[in-house]
Structures are given as structure tokens and as C-alpha cells.
Structure 1
Amino acid sequence: MKKKNVFIIAGIAFALGYLLKQTQNEKQRIKPEKALKSVKDRLEKQFNVSGSWIYMKAEPFRKNGFEYEAYHGGITKHTDGKYIPYEFYIDAYSGTVIDMFPQHKEQMNTAL
């Protein structure tokens, strides 16, 4: 086999490997710890966050007619001497917050 053919085959194999890796990376979930840190970092810019949690397993979640695989978590903000717990759902692939709401119904009027 000529050197030229070897280089062409190696180049094609490298390109295929690269494309397969990119495809695989796009389909991988982010780690739940990273998702939780993302939510905490965003909220800590506005509020004092005093606690947080997240389920380690993604679950199906439906919002506005769309299906997601999402992590379910919670965060507690401390404001005006009160601890207010919120729950959230975050897309397991993109890390986008899909929904966030107060944990208790009497706090539904409390804006984030």
C-alpha cells in the first residue's frame, strides 16, 4: 500500500472518530452536581442561598407540551429573615432551567 493511501485512510478514520465523539458528547447528560451548581450560581447573584439538593437520576418531565429528561432539585433562599424553599426542574442535557416554583403553596406569590 502506498504512503499516500495510508494517509488518506488515516485521515478518514480520524474524521469519522471525531464526528462520532461529537455526536456522543451531544447526547450525554450533564452531571446532576453540575446542574445544581449552575442553578445555585445563578441564584446566588441575587439571593443568599442557604441550602440545595438534587435527585441524581433524571426523570421524564412535561412542560408546555414538550417532553424533557430533567433533574428535579430544590434550593432554599434566605431573604428578609425568611427561608423560602423552591423546587426546580433542569434539562439533563442542556442544563436549562425548565421550571422553578415555591415548594409551598402559600409562597406562590413570592417572586424570585
Structure 2
Amino acid sequence: MIKCDRTAFLIGVAAGAAATVLIQKQTSESKNAPPEKVLKQIKETFKQQGPINGSWIQMKPEDYTHNGFQVLVYKGGISRQGKTSNEQFEFAADAKTGTLLNVHSIH
């Protein structure tokens, strides 16, 4: 009888450990803002200067150096009609907060 209790205990410990690893993995992945939400924020910012024609965002964040620090960012792009032609921009946004870290025009 003691042997069954030990077996049940060990099975419980193994199941608990597996659940802990799974929860930690899901929690660490969910610390980033959803890329769709980040893109929506950035589009709202660009819309203040006029309508946009198109946009895109990478779904997987990547490492980026900003002011000497490594941060995870989503990279993406926005296009809008300028005064004489279509304007295109690329951006890098902090994956955790959605804060726009860099925007540059593509010529």
C-alpha cells in the first residue's frame, strides 16, 4: 500500500512539473502585446497625418538595439498617399508596449 502511495505521489509530482513548464512557456510568450494591436495603434498614429493605403507587421518579434539596449520589436510598414506620390515607411515597435521606437521613410 505504501508503494502505491509513492507511485501516485510521483505521478502527481511529474504532472505538476509538466504543467508548470507549460504555464511558464505560455506566460512568457504572452508578455508581448499582440502584433495586431500594435499595428492598430501605429495606424491610428499615422492616420493623424492623413489616410493610409496599406500596412503590415511581422507576427514574430525580433531582437533590436535601441539606444544601446536590446529589446524585442515588431517590424512593419505603412503606406499612404503623399502630396505627389505614395509614401512608404518602415517601423520598429516595442513588442511589450507597442511604443514606436523607429520610423523611417523608404525611398
Paired residues, what number?
Answer: 80
Runs of 4+ off more than 6 Å: none
What TM-score do you get using the length of structure 2 for normalisation? 0.69
Measured against aligned partners, the alpha-carbon deviations of 1:49-105 in whole angstroms (never above 9, x if no partner) come to 11000000000001221211000000002121411110000000011000000122x
Q: Which residue number corresponds to residue 97 of structure 1?
A: 100
Percent identity (aligned): 35
Gaps in structure 2 of 5+ consecutive residues: 1-26
The partner residue of 2:47 within 44, 49, 58 is 44
| Structure of greater Rg | 2
Structure 1 gaps, min length 5? 1-23, 105-112
Please give the residue correspondences for 1:1-12 in structure 2 after superposition, counting only pairs within 5 Å: none
What is the Cα-based RMSD across aligned positions, in Å?
Answer: 1.6
The letter for the 1-side match of 2:96 is: Y
Q: Is it true that 1:71 corresponds to 2:85 in the alignment? A: no
* Alpha-carbon distance in 1 for matches of 2:65, 2:36: 22
Matches of 1:32 and 1:74, distance apart in 2: 13
TM-score, length basis structure 1: 0.66
Q: Give the conservation status (yes or no) of the 8 Å contact 1:48–1:79.
A: no
3-state SS of the aligned residue for 2:32? coil
